[in-house]
Structure 1
Amino acid sequence: MSATLSTPFTFPSSLAPYNIPAELYLSANPGLTGLVVSSIIIHNNRVLLIQRAAHDGFPLKWECPGGGVDTTDPTILHAVCREVQEETGLKVTTLGSKVDILDFEGRDGAKWRKITFLVVLDDTEDPVVRLNAEEHRDAVWAAAGDVGSGKCEGRYIEFAYGDQKQLVMDALSANNR
């Protein structure tokens, strides 16, 4: 029996281990309670950063789109595409690669895994970002220099998570090769 499903998006074979339901992934990784996905979205050598809402956790900090994998998501890869669309209005048609895996402990002591994926948008598109105002307040397309300096289009960029700045820099650097 195959656990993989057909998808409305394309992805390289290296992502096949994530084209399965979260329950199957969690059963193969005992000790994990849940999964979170994140996406580093690159367009024309710039990365999409979104600012968290003032009333949310990590208020007004910047991050890449993502969130929890739901039981209704057919696969982990579907969760990435759903989260991107919910948070930014962008439709993912191609996933690039896995960028990072980070295990962390939740507030209640639960063990979580965050999997970050690369999304490269077609250079001919002019993506229009539509934020979910309940979750995010602002968005910018930042070049590597902007990320490095912590300032883009007059906004100060302070990341919600310590390792995210380096992940974004590494992804931008790899994309420029």
Structure 2
Amino acid sequence: MSTYSPPTTLEIHPSLDAFRVPIREYLASTNPPLAGLIVSALIFKPAKSHTANGGGAQRHGEKDRVLLVQRSATDGCPHLWEAPGGGAEPGVDGSPLDALVREVREETGLTVVRVRGLVDAETEWTVKGGAWRKASFEAEVEAHDQTSDIEADTVDVVLDPAEHQDYAWVSREELAGGMTADGRELNITFPTQTDILMKGFDLRERTDLKLEAQ
């Protein structure tokens, strides 16, 4: 199987150097070594509109929204919602961040252009064969970055029906309430996924911790 090649224009925050190494090297860097790594992307639709002269202003009542995808009825955890992501594959992905770009592309059809920072890498579990970790990042996608006038319906999300059957741009309040504005139930895959999503919203709202690309 050939190695996946990420976009050459991908911007990566300097704080993420630990995730730019080969996957096997990353897995071996922990004590004890990890058996595997899951990567996940928090892709936000910012509550910011840019005026014609380049200034930014928040729309009245507008809120940041995060992209969630609903797992297919025929896949594991059927009908449950999650952030896009999946397993980092040695021999396919050059690094954990390359895996992030590939998984987002495969699951949503979107191209990651910037990885702004780490949201969480503390979620771990043990299965037969050893310990696994989930690393979640805030990412921006093509035509959906912080420098343009962003509308969710201008981003063409294309799902792989074998894995996911629906998607939604979800606010913090909708996530907490378990339902989208148009009445779809938001049953999340695991409590830890909800915690990570809420942490992502917190990082965007707290100016002292807000993830900033350099």
Q: Whole-Å Cα distance in 2 between the matches of residues 109 and 158 of structure 1?
A: 29
Q: Whole-Å Cα distance in 1 between the matches of residues 7 and 106 of structure 2?
A: 21
* Structure 2 counterpart SS, 1:118: strand
Of the structure 1 ranges 162-171 and 43-52, higher mean CA displacement relative to structure 2 is found in 162-171
The Cα shift of 1:96 comes to 1.1
* Corresponding letter in the other structure for 1:148: A
Gaps of 5+ in 2: 1-5, 47-63, 207-214
Q: CA RMSD for the aligned pairs? A: 1.8
Per the alignment, residue 117 of structure 1 pairs with: 137
* 1:42/1:172 contact within 8 Å kept: no
* Structure 2 counterpart SS, 1:95: strand
The Cα shift of 1:62 comes to 0.4
Q: Whole-Å Cα distance in 2 between the matches of residues 6 and 132 of structure 1?
A: 20
2:107 counterpart of 1:87: yes
**Aligned-residue identity in percent:** 35
The Cα shift of 1:176 comes to 3.4
The Cα shift of 1:31 comes to 3.1
The Cα shift of 1:6 comes to 9.4
Q: How many residues align?
A: 172
Gaps of 5+ in 1: none
Task: Tell me the alpha carbon deviations over residues 4-47 of structure 1, each in whole angstroms, 9 at most, x when there is no partner.
Answer: x9953101111011011101111222431111101111112110
Task: Tell me the alpha carbon deviations over residues 43-85 of structure 1, each in whole angstroms, 9 at most, x when there is no partner.
Answer: 1211001000112111111000000001210111111011001
* Structure 2 counterpart SS, 1:48: strand
The Cα shift of 1:169 comes to 1.9
- Following TM superposition, the consecutive aligned residue runs of length 4 or more in structure 1 with deviations greater than 6 angstroms are none
Per the alignment, residue 58 of structure 2 pairs with: none
* Structure 2 counterpart SS, 1:116: strand
Per the alignment, residue 164 of structure 1 pairs with: 193
2:129 counterpart of 1:98: no
Of the structure 1 ranges 109-118 and 156-165, higher mean CA displacement relative to structure 2 is found in 109-118
Larger gyration radius, structure 1 or structure 2: 2
The Cα shift of 1:175 comes to 1.6
Q: Whole-Å Cα distance in 1 between the matches of residues 7 and 158 of structure 2?
A: 27
* 2:35/2:129 contact within 8 Å kept: no
